[in-house]
Structure 1
């Protein structure tokens, strides 16, 4: 029995190779398309992307300005608090010192003008020492922003003065301070102690007096 030679089967392999190459090309094209799509998606519309970025920049700028303004406000408040502490921190101590100033003023006020003019020897030295001490105390208070209120002859101001009584006096406008019972003091822009005063009544009104003077 004779054996017949089998022909090589080459047709199937060629077909499979062609199919594989086609599939590889398709896959490569698909990958390129997906990469292009992803790039387009990442870039998006140039005009829209620009608008979005500008919006983000504006938002960040607004947040920065708000934060900067808040920090500036905090800094200013801290500076004011420090300044107030320096200016008004001695208010309680200053009120106690005012009692000493009042005692000195009363001591000097109790001596009659004639006695001061004719004082000699130790009495004169005592008076000079009291006056020197009073002037030094006033300078020390002024050095720390404490000023004496001298309201005599001025219009009564309830923010600075405390009316103790009224004085009938038609020669001056009503509401004029004609007597100071106790001196007042201010520290910085605040009243440390109001001046206790006597106020005139019975005279012309201050507004009418001013209008007459202007005319």
Structure 2
């Protein structure tokens, strides 16, 4: 049940103590970007859904950093701008860092918008907040019956945010991964399980 899912020890840990923001360009910020890149794609999708639900007051520091980067105020920054900003802070970034930024670019636009950057760098405990977790789940559960059908899942993913990079076969694969018991629906428990899952190295197959 949803109540049992939200009593998951990982979720409960998320409600204990204060969360921390990773100052832009710091070691923790880079570590979170790299950790996001290592997550299975289904978890990156779930974290992006969570990022859309985070209240502004919980992420004030990252908002300010993003606005400073987003010189024209259009809500997105180029990967070159992110590279230059990080290098200006003294980081020597390997060529492989391109793949990290591409994994953050969930809509394949070639630019990073605020939600994408937030999904990759917000404190994991924010995603575990009861209200945020439920709101993210309900963003998929369009009819409010407590279960996400394959059609609802596809409708959510094949939206403007993901349509450039996800094909129907990729959506079907993600749904199968998320539907832990194979009953044809994603429950709130399934959704919380995705968020609690560890970050295995992604493979080329994850990116299909």
Tell me the TM-score normalized by structure 2: 0.20
Structure having the higher strand fraction is 1
Q: Mark the structure with the bigger radius of gyration.
A: 1
Structure having the higher helix fraction is 1
